[in-house]
Amino acid sequence: MFLFRDTTLSEKKEIRSSLQQIYGVGLSKANFIAAKIGLKYPYFANNLNLYHVNLILYLLKGLVLSDTRIKRAIENNITRLITISSYRGARHRLTLPVRGQRTRTNAGTQRSKRIRPEKSLKKVKNYEN
């Protein structure tokens, strides 16, 4: 068991699935790291020696950006879509599903995020006598 950026990797899982617990590491990066080190498929994290752990940490430092940089890049991509006024940007701006999902019966979670405008008060007409 070792730490990488406040994420503890579990020893009971296979090394590829335990690497995916780190934010920014998916299946392809986990497979790349395991292949680069030369680990066979069912290799569990509790069987790692210090040499393998140091190699994994070295590769992770080179491959994985920090959490804040990844989140900032995602936010920049969404704001770029909104500023060029694309269809996807409009869907993001209205907080509707972006990838073609239906909204009539599903997407309740996405629609509940919407800020609903308050009902406007009816204006009372002033009658002059």
Ranges of residues in the chain whose predicted pLDDT is under 70? 1-4, 6, 107, 109-129
Contact call for residues 15 and 44 (beta carbons, < 8 A): yes
**pLDDT tens digits, 75-98:** 888 899 989 989 989 888 887 888
Contact call for residues 92 and 78 (beta carbons, < 8 A): yes
Q: What pLDDT does 3 receive?
A: 65
Q: What pLDDT does 84 receive?
A: 92
Domains and CATH numbers, the chain: 3-64 (1.10.8.50), 68-112 (4.10.910.10)
3-class secondary structure for 3-59? EECCEECCCCCEHHHHHCCCCCCCHHHHHHHHHHHCCCCCCEHHHCCHHHHHHHHHH
Q: What pLDDT does 56 receive?
A: 81
- This prediction has a pTM of 0.54
Nearest residue to 33 via CA among 55, 54, 66:
55
Q: What pLDDT does 127 receive?
A: 55
For residue 64, the one-letter residue type is: V
